Amino acid sequence: MYSLPDAAWRTSSYTQQQNCVEVADTPGVTGVRDTKNRDLGALAFPSAEWCALVEAARRGLL
């Protein structure tokens, strides 16, 4: 798990009222964390891999 203390976190638009997932973009890394358990840290993905995952999801490939 990573700690991204200076990251600007945003809530996923797909979680609506539940606020389950937050995402933060930092240089070269995209962080993902559980809104309800922020103290557990975050998963960190190379930004290119995160973009590929999001694009695959948009295309319905997942």
List, as one string, the DSSP characters of 9-44: -EE-TTSGGG--EEEEEETTEEEEEEGGGGGG-BEE
Domain parsing of the chain, residue ranges? 10-58
Q: What is the mean pLDDT of each run of 10 residues along the chain (62 residues)?
A: 79 72 90 88 92 92 88
What pLDDT is stored for residue 61 in this prediction?
92
